Structure formats: structure tokens, C-alpha cells
Amino acid sequence: MTQPPQNPYGQDPNCPGPDHLGPPTQQPGPYGQPPQDYGQQPGLYGQPPQAGPYGEPQQPGLYGQPPRNYGQHPQGVMPGQGGAPSYPPRKRQRDSEPGRFIWGDLIAVLAYVVVMLVGGVSLLALIPPFSTMLGSGVEEQEQQGLFLINVVGYTVMVVIALALSGKALIRSVRAFGYLWWLKLLLVPVAWVGTLILTALLVLSLGGEPETSENQLAIESMLAFVPFLAAVLVMGLLGPYVEEYFFRHLLIGKLSRYINIWICGVLSVITFPLLHFIPALVLMLADPSAPTDLTLISVVPYVVMGSVFTLAYILTGRSLVYAWLLHAFNNVMALVMAYFVQPRLEQFLEDNGMEGVGGLISHTTALLRLLTETTLTLTGGK
């Protein structure tokens, strides 16, 4: 049989025709992976291809890391590394966390009222050896007996205050580290500022500071008490008791329920009032009776209370810093009472200047007034 001639441009009989063709085969991509459409990247280790954002191929990340979307940092790279900016957290004053009111605080308040304000500590005068010293008729023994009564009263109150505020005191010590050098530098600055502001206010009122009976009693007692003993009781123990009640309780704990600045105003107001309770009682009983409660006598209390309150609040309700300020103020008042004031008065007397008015007399009177105010706060009565 004769075969038909083959068309040189015809279809090869060994090749299937168009009807027998299957889907077109794809050529293998690089590394044995099938090719991907535009906008896709080959997956890692046989994983399906991944599409980049907006249909565009993703670029490899830093240091050979897998590609990432916008806003994502490569694995193992934190902000601030590889060109991403970061800033260290800003340091702030830590709060000392005074805590909540407890029943012990109420007991401490009642003890303070009975022992220090009402005069319960004076009952010790009925017990030997206090009764013997106070009834000896010798001024030195009488003044030393009065001082020992104050020692007992403040020792009892300090033990109660430390038992209730010891943890808060430790927390305030830990929070003291922030700008500690500036806080220490501000201690003498605050004391000098208190003196200057008090002097300006007293002089602006147009009154002459007078020596009260309380001031004379304090000076008489200090004349027979060693300086270091006075520093221990009036410079350290007394200020802690005061700061526990007027700052730690009235501001620190009360500010959990009331705005802290309202608590600060309350502390500044009660600070002088509680020290003039005898005078207030006398005024209510007999308004015509003379008392030591005058506007000039209240000014130093208000100034010191304001300074201590601001320091307490601005340092994160720091009990230890308020105590430090108060203690420094009292110690400097004792230094003036023991060393500066007697020498100044002796100098004026030796030079015939004791009766000279003006700045010198005002300075002497102000020193006496400031000394009286500070030591009255710590049981000089």
C-alpha cells in the first residue's frame, strides 16, 4: 500500500495534536521550586509563597531576617537597634506610699492628745523621783525634772509612732535617692528662707516681737540642760512625733480620700492651732484675760508648717525628708539658743547697745521669737 506524502510543514505523527494536548507545563523555578506570579516570594523550606504588601515583592529584612511588614521590627532587634530610635524612660520621684489608716493611728492620736496636749505627762510630777526634783526648791533640779518629764513623754510617743510608721519610713528612705544631693542642699536653704520670710512678715505687721512667759520658761530650762540632751529630745525625737501626726497622717494617709493640697492646707492650719490649745481654752473661758496667742506669734508656725508641707508633698510624701527638715530647724534653733543669742545679747550689753532700736533690736527679738516657736513645738511647755 502506498503511504500518502508527508507535508514538510505538517504535524509530526509522533507529536499529539492540539486536541490531545494537556495543560501547559511550567518550567521549574530556581532551586527546584515552581515559579511564582509577580508579587510573590518563594516560601522558606517548601512553604507556600508569600505575597508582599500592596502586591509588591517583599525585601529581605536586616541581617538576613525574614521580610516584615511596615511597622514591624525584625526578630531579635529591639527599637533603638538597626536604626530604630528609642529613648530611655524618664526618671521620676517615687512615692513613699504612706498606706491606709489603721486602728493604731487612732490610738496614737488619742495618746498624743492625752499625753502632750491635755498634759497627762504632767502626772509624772506626782511620782518620785520627779516629785522630789520638782519640790526641791532648787531651780536647777526643778528645771531638770521638767526636762525629764518631757523626755518620758516624747519617748513614749516616738515608740508608738515608729511602731506604726516604721515601714513607711523605710519606703521613704528608698525613695530619697532621687536627686538626693539636691534635697540635702535645700535643707539649709529652706531653713534660711524660713527665717527671712518670718522676719519679713513679722516686721511688715508693724509689731515688736515680745518675750512671752513660755519663752522665759524655755530659756530657764535650757540653762540647766546639756546641749546634747536637748538635741536628742528637742532636735530628733520631737520632730519625728510632729511629722508623724501633721504630715504622715494628715497629708500622707488622708490624701487617699481627699485632694492632697486640701490636706496640705489642713495640716498648715492645725499645725499652730494645736500648740495654742491652752491659750484658746483661756480665751474661751475669759476673753479679757491676756494670752500669748497673737498674730505675730502665729506667723512662725504658719511659715514653718508651709515649708514642711511643701517639702513633704514635692518629695513624694517623704516622711524621712520632712523629719530631716524639721530636725535641722530645731537643732539650729538650739544652737542659737545656746550659743548665738547669749553672745549677741552680751555683745550688745558690753557695747551699750542693748537699748538701741532699729535692726539690731528687731534681730535680737526675732531670734528669741524663732527659738521659742521651734522649741514649743517639741514640748518646751
Tell me: the pLDDT tens digits for 111-122? Answer: 988 887 777 777
Please tell me which of 1-10, 47-56, 142-151 the model is most confident about, judged by mean pLDDT. Answer: 142-151
**CA 108 to CA 332: how far, in whole Å?**
28
**pLDDT computed for residue 357 by the predictor:** 45
**pLDDT computed for residue 331 by the predictor:** 92
Q: Measuring CA to CA, which residue among 213, 192, 235, 233 is closest to residue 374?
A: 235
Domain that holds residue 368: 175-376
Those residues whose C-beta lies under 8 Å from the C-beta of residue 50, and which sit 6 or more positions away, are 40, 41, 43, 58, 67
Angle between helical axes of 139-175 and 319-335 (0-180°, round to 10): 150
**CA 244 to CA 251: how far, in whole Å?**
10
| Domain assignment present for 334 | yes
**pLDDT computed for residue 67 by the predictor:** 53
Q: Sign of torsion, CA 312 279 203 206? A: positive
**pLDDT computed for residue 231 by the predictor:** 93
Greater pLDDT, 154 or 83: 154
**CA 367 to CA 373: how far, in whole Å?**
10
**CA 144 to CA 224: how far, in whole Å?**
7
**pLDDT computed for residue 378 by the predictor:** 43
Greater pLDDT, 354 or 150: 150
Q: Which helix (H) or strand (E) holds 167?
A: helix 139-175
Across the range 181-202, mean pLDDT stands at 92
Instruction: Supply angle C-alpha 262, 269, 372, rounded to 5.
Output: 145
* Residue listed under C-alpha cell 510630777: 125
Cβ atoms within 10 Å, residue 198: 23
**pLDDT computed for residue 97 by the predictor:** 92
Q: What is the pLDDT of residues 147-186, one digit of tens each?
A: 998 899 999 999 999 999 999 999 999 999 889 999 999 9
| Domain assignment present for 9 | no
For the chain, what is the radius of gyration of the CA atoms? 41
Reported as a pLDDT band with limits 50, 70 and 90, residue 129 is confident
Across the range 244-273, mean pLDDT stands at 94
Reported as a pLDDT band with limits 50, 70 and 90, residue 200 is confident
Please tell me which of 56-60, 210-214, 239-243 the model is most confident about, judged by mean pLDDT. Answer: 239-243
| Domain assignment present for 131 | no
φ, ψ (nearest 5 deg) of residue 51: -90, 140
**pLDDT computed for residue 183 by the predictor:** 95
Q: Sign of torsion, CA 220 224 229 233? A: negative
| Domain assignment present for 299 | yes
**pLDDT computed for residue 150 by the predictor:** 87
Greater pLDDT, 142 or 210: 142
- Cβ pair 370, 300 in contact under 8 A: yes
Q: Mapping DSSP to helix (H, G, I), strand (E, B) and coil, where does residue 41 land? A: strand
Longest dimension (CA), the chain: 164
173, 191, 299, 222: CA torsion to nearest 10: 90
How many structural domains is the chain composed of? 1
Q: Mapping DSSP to helix (H, G, I), strand (E, B) and coil, where does residue 170 land? A: helix
Cell of 161: 509612732
| Domain assignment present for 60 | no
| Domain assignment present for 321 | yes
Q: Which helix (H) or strand (E) holds 40?
A: strand 40-41
Answer whether residue 301 shows pLDDT above 90: no
- Cβ pair 283, 289 in contact under 8 A: yes
- Cβ pair 100, 322 in contact under 8 A: no
| Domain assignment present for 30 | no
**pLDDT computed for residue 156 by the predictor:** 93
Across the range 224-229, mean pLDDT stands at 94
Cβ atoms within 10 Å, residue 15: 8
Q: Sign of torsion, CA 152 157 158 160? A: positive
- b/e per residue 71-97 (b: at least 16 CB within 10 A): eebbeebeeeeeeeeeeeeeeeebebe
Cell of 356: 538701741
**pLDDT computed for residue 207 by the predictor:** 65
- b/e per residue 273-294 (b: at least 16 CB within 10 A): ebbbebbeebeeeeeeeebbbe
**Amino acid identity for residue 180 in this structure:** W
Reported as a pLDDT band with limits 50, 70 and 90, residue 347 is confident
| Domain assignment present for 89 | no
